[in-house]
Amino acid sequence: MSTKRRILLIEDEPHIALGLKDALEFEGFAVMHTARGLEGVAVARAERPDCVILDIMLPDLNGYKVCEELRRLDAQVPIIMLTARSQESDKIRGLDAGADDYVTKPFSVNELVARIRAIFRRAARATGAPETFRIGDAEVNLTTQTVTRGDKSEPLSFYETELLRLLHGKTGAPVSREEILTKVWGLEATPTNRTVDNFVVKLRKKIEDAPDKPIHILTVYGTGYKLAL
Protein backbone atom coordinates (compact mmCIF):
# COMPACT_ATOMS: atom_id res chain seq x y z
CA MET A 1 0.00 0.00 0.00
CA SER A 2 1.33 3.41 -0.91
CA THR A 3 2.12 5.70 1.97
CA LYS A 4 2.60 8.71 -0.23
CA ARG A 5 0.98 11.91 0.99
CA ARG A 6 -1.88 12.76 -1.34
CA ILE A 7 -2.26 16.30 -2.58
CA LEU A 8 -5.29 17.65 -4.42
CA LEU A 9 -4.34 20.43 -6.85
CA ILE A 10 -7.21 22.62 -8.09
CA GLU A 11 -5.78 24.90 -10.78
CA ASP A 12 -7.08 25.73 -14.24
CA GLU A 13 -3.96 27.21 -15.84
CA PRO A 14 -2.45 24.22 -17.67
CA HIS A 15 1.21 25.26 -17.55
CA ILE A 16 1.09 26.05 -13.81
CA ALA A 17 -0.85 22.86 -13.05
CA LEU A 18 1.49 20.67 -15.08
CA GLY A 19 4.63 22.27 -13.64
CA LEU A 20 3.34 21.90 -10.09
CA LYS A 21 2.16 18.35 -10.59
CA ASP A 22 5.57 17.32 -11.97
CA ALA A 23 7.44 19.09 -9.18
CA LEU A 24 5.26 17.63 -6.42
CA GLU A 25 5.45 14.12 -7.85
CA PHE A 26 9.21 14.48 -8.11
CA GLU A 27 9.19 15.35 -4.39
CA GLY A 28 7.40 12.08 -3.66
CA PHE A 29 3.80 13.23 -3.31
CA ALA A 30 0.82 11.66 -5.06
CA VAL A 31 -1.04 14.40 -6.94
CA MET A 32 -4.68 14.51 -8.00
CA HIS A 33 -5.40 17.39 -10.35
CA THR A 34 -8.60 19.07 -11.43
CA ALA A 35 -9.09 22.34 -13.32
CA ARG A 36 -12.55 23.12 -11.95
CA GLY A 37 -13.81 24.06 -8.50
CA LEU A 38 -16.91 21.89 -8.31
CA GLU A 39 -14.97 18.88 -9.53
CA GLY A 40 -12.32 19.65 -6.92
CA VAL A 41 -14.93 19.53 -4.16
CA ALA A 42 -16.20 16.21 -5.53
CA VAL A 43 -12.69 14.75 -5.67
CA ALA A 44 -12.01 15.94 -2.10
CA ARG A 45 -15.22 14.27 -0.93
CA ALA A 46 -14.32 10.98 -2.61
CA GLU A 47 -10.57 10.87 -2.04
CA ARG A 48 -9.96 12.74 1.25
CA PRO A 49 -6.60 14.26 0.30
CA ASP A 50 -3.94 15.11 2.91
CA CYS A 51 -3.51 18.64 1.59
CA VAL A 52 -5.26 20.90 -0.95
CA ILE A 53 -3.61 23.49 -3.17
CA LEU A 54 -6.32 25.78 -4.45
CA ASP A 55 -6.24 28.50 -7.09
CA ILE A 56 -8.56 31.47 -6.49
CA MET A 57 -9.45 32.28 -10.10
CA LEU A 58 -11.27 29.22 -11.43
CA PRO A 59 -13.66 29.03 -14.39
CA ASP A 60 -16.74 27.83 -12.52
CA LEU A 61 -16.65 28.45 -8.78
CA ASN A 62 -14.15 30.91 -7.29
CA GLY A 63 -11.54 29.63 -4.88
CA TYR A 64 -13.12 31.25 -1.83
CA LYS A 65 -16.35 29.34 -2.41
CA VAL A 66 -14.43 26.15 -3.08
CA CYS A 67 -12.52 26.70 0.15
CA GLU A 68 -15.74 27.07 2.14
CA GLU A 69 -17.09 23.86 0.61
CA LEU A 70 -13.85 22.01 1.38
CA ARG A 71 -14.01 23.24 4.98
CA ARG A 72 -17.55 21.92 5.31
CA LEU A 73 -16.29 18.51 4.20
CA ASP A 74 -13.18 18.48 6.36
CA ALA A 75 -12.43 21.04 9.06
CA GLN A 76 -8.79 20.07 9.33
CA VAL A 77 -7.25 19.37 5.93
CA PRO A 78 -4.52 21.96 5.26
CA ILE A 79 -5.54 24.28 2.41
CA ILE A 80 -3.00 26.49 0.64
CA MET A 81 -4.45 29.10 -1.73
CA LEU A 82 -2.70 30.31 -4.85
CA THR A 83 -3.49 33.93 -5.50
CA ALA A 84 -2.50 36.24 -8.32
CA ARG A 85 -3.47 39.16 -6.15
CA SER A 86 -1.30 40.70 -3.54
CA GLN A 87 -3.83 42.89 -1.76
CA GLU A 88 -4.08 42.15 1.94
CA SER A 89 -7.90 42.12 1.75
CA ASP A 90 -7.85 39.19 -0.67
CA LYS A 91 -5.57 37.24 1.63
CA ILE A 92 -7.79 37.95 4.61
CA ARG A 93 -10.79 36.86 2.58
CA GLY A 94 -9.01 33.59 1.82
CA LEU A 95 -8.13 33.03 5.45
CA ASP A 96 -11.71 33.87 6.44
CA ALA A 97 -12.96 31.27 3.95
CA GLY A 98 -10.92 28.70 5.82
CA ALA A 99 -7.56 28.62 4.05
CA ASP A 100 -4.50 27.94 6.18
CA ASP A 101 -1.95 29.60 4.00
CA TYR A 102 -1.50 31.30 0.67
CA VAL A 103 1.22 31.96 -1.83
CA THR A 104 1.08 34.83 -4.29
CA LYS A 105 1.71 34.19 -7.97
CA PRO A 106 4.27 34.15 -9.38
CA PHE A 107 5.62 31.88 -6.68
CA SER A 108 8.62 29.61 -6.44
CA VAL A 109 7.78 25.94 -6.62
CA ASN A 110 10.51 25.32 -4.06
CA GLU A 111 8.81 27.64 -1.60
CA LEU A 112 5.48 25.93 -2.06
CA VAL A 113 7.08 22.50 -1.61
CA ALA A 114 8.81 23.75 1.54
CA ARG A 115 5.46 24.91 2.94
CA ILE A 116 3.83 21.58 2.17
CA ARG A 117 6.71 19.68 3.75
CA ALA A 118 6.49 21.86 6.86
CA ILE A 119 2.75 21.13 7.12
CA PHE A 120 3.31 17.38 6.91
CA ARG A 121 6.26 17.44 9.33
CA ARG A 122 4.15 19.11 11.97
CA ALA A 123 1.14 16.92 11.24
CA ALA A 124 3.35 13.86 11.83
CA ARG A 125 4.71 15.31 15.06
CA ALA A 126 1.20 16.11 16.25
CA THR A 127 0.06 12.50 16.25
CA GLY A 128 0.42 10.79 19.61
CA ALA A 129 -1.22 11.03 23.00
CA PRO A 130 -4.21 13.33 23.16
CA GLU A 131 -3.02 16.79 24.08
CA THR A 132 -5.62 18.88 25.85
CA PHE A 133 -5.49 21.98 28.03
CA ARG A 134 -7.78 24.73 29.23
CA ILE A 135 -7.65 28.38 28.35
CA GLY A 136 -10.18 30.11 30.58
CA ASP A 137 -13.42 28.22 30.02
CA ALA A 138 -12.27 26.82 26.68
CA GLU A 139 -11.04 23.24 26.40
CA VAL A 140 -8.45 22.96 23.64
CA ASN A 141 -7.72 19.55 22.11
CA LEU A 142 -4.66 19.66 19.86
CA THR A 143 -5.16 16.08 18.74
CA THR A 144 -8.72 16.42 17.47
CA GLN A 145 -8.08 20.09 16.54
CA THR A 146 -11.11 21.37 18.38
CA VAL A 147 -11.94 24.01 20.95
CA THR A 148 -14.95 23.43 23.18
CA ARG A 149 -16.73 26.01 25.29
CA GLY A 150 -19.79 24.82 27.18
CA ASP A 151 -21.68 22.61 24.75
CA LYS A 152 -20.27 24.33 21.65
CA SER A 153 -17.35 22.73 19.82
CA GLU A 154 -15.48 24.42 16.99
CA PRO A 155 -12.81 23.03 14.68
CA LEU A 156 -9.32 24.52 14.63
CA SER A 157 -7.46 24.70 11.35
CA PHE A 158 -3.96 23.31 11.04
CA TYR A 159 -2.17 26.62 11.67
CA GLU A 160 -4.56 27.68 14.44
CA THR A 161 -3.72 24.43 16.22
CA GLU A 162 0.03 24.87 15.76
CA LEU A 163 -0.12 28.50 16.92
CA LEU A 164 -1.93 27.45 20.10
CA ARG A 165 0.57 24.63 20.64
CA LEU A 166 3.46 27.10 20.49
CA LEU A 167 1.84 29.74 22.73
CA HIS A 168 0.76 27.11 25.26
CA GLY A 169 4.29 25.70 25.44
CA LYS A 170 5.44 29.15 26.54
CA THR A 171 2.46 30.19 28.64
CA GLY A 172 3.02 33.58 30.25
CA ALA A 173 6.08 34.41 28.17
CA PRO A 174 6.04 36.75 25.17
CA VAL A 175 6.50 35.00 21.83
CA SER A 176 7.66 37.19 18.95
CA ARG A 177 5.95 37.23 15.57
CA GLU A 178 9.24 36.14 14.02
CA GLU A 179 9.42 33.10 16.28
CA ILE A 180 5.79 32.27 15.48
CA LEU A 181 6.45 32.51 11.74
CA THR A 182 9.57 30.38 11.97
CA LYS A 183 8.12 27.69 14.21
CA VAL A 184 4.52 27.56 13.01
CA TRP A 185 4.88 28.41 9.34
CA GLY A 186 8.38 27.03 9.05
CA LEU A 187 9.75 29.79 6.86
CA GLU A 188 11.31 33.08 7.80
CA ALA A 189 10.61 35.14 4.70
CA THR A 190 6.91 34.68 4.10
CA PRO A 191 4.08 34.84 4.98
CA THR A 192 4.12 38.23 6.64
CA ASN A 193 3.65 39.32 10.22
CA ARG A 194 0.10 40.30 9.27
CA THR A 195 -0.66 36.63 8.76
CA VAL A 196 0.12 35.96 12.41
CA ASP A 197 -2.14 38.83 13.45
CA ASN A 198 -4.97 37.52 11.25
CA PHE A 199 -4.74 34.09 12.84
CA VAL A 200 -4.73 35.59 16.32
CA VAL A 201 -7.94 37.46 15.47
CA LYS A 202 -9.54 34.16 14.42
CA LEU A 203 -8.32 32.33 17.53
CA ARG A 204 -9.61 35.05 19.84
CA LYS A 205 -13.08 34.66 18.33
CA LYS A 206 -12.98 30.97 19.21
CA ILE A 207 -11.52 31.30 22.69
CA GLU A 208 -12.24 34.72 24.20
CA ASP A 209 -15.56 35.86 25.72
CA ALA A 210 -14.89 39.33 24.33
CA PRO A 211 -12.51 38.97 21.34
CA ASP A 212 -12.04 42.77 21.22
CA LYS A 213 -10.91 42.80 24.85
CA PRO A 214 -8.86 39.63 25.09
CA ILE A 215 -7.75 38.31 28.46
CA HIS A 216 -6.07 35.10 27.26
CA ILE A 217 -4.30 35.68 23.94
CA LEU A 218 -2.61 38.95 24.78
CA THR A 219 -0.79 41.38 22.51
CA VAL A 220 2.73 42.22 23.63
CA TYR A 221 3.30 45.56 21.95
CA GLY A 222 6.28 45.70 19.66
CA THR A 223 6.92 41.98 20.06
CA GLY A 224 4.12 39.55 19.48
CA TYR A 225 1.76 37.62 21.71
CA LYS A 226 1.56 35.70 24.95
CA LEU A 227 -0.92 33.27 26.40
CA ALA A 228 -2.54 33.66 29.81
CA LEU A 229 -4.60 30.66 30.89
Q: Where do contacts with Ca ion occur on this chain (CB under 5 A)?
A: 12, 55, 57
List, in sequence order, every residue forming a beta bridge with 132; answer none if it has no partner. Answer: 141
CB of 69 to Ca ion, least distance (A): 17
**Half-sphere exposure (Cβ direction) of 206: Cα atoms closer than 13 Å:** 21
Query: What sign results for the dihedral spanned by CA atoms 187, 17, 81, 168?
Result: negative
From the CB of 157, what's the least distance to Ca ion, in Å? 23
Q: Which residue is nearest to Ca ion (CB)?
A: 57
Minimum CB–partner distance for residue 118 and Ca ion (Å): 25
Query: What's the min distance (Å) between Cβ of 138 and Ca ion?
Result: 38
For Ca ion, the closer CB: 57 or 218: 57
Outline where DSSP puts E strands in the chain.
Answer: 6-10, 30-34, 51-55, 79-83, 101-104, 132-135, 138-141, 146-149, 152-155, 175-176, 217-220, 224-227
| For Ca ion, the closer CB: 58 or 95 | 58
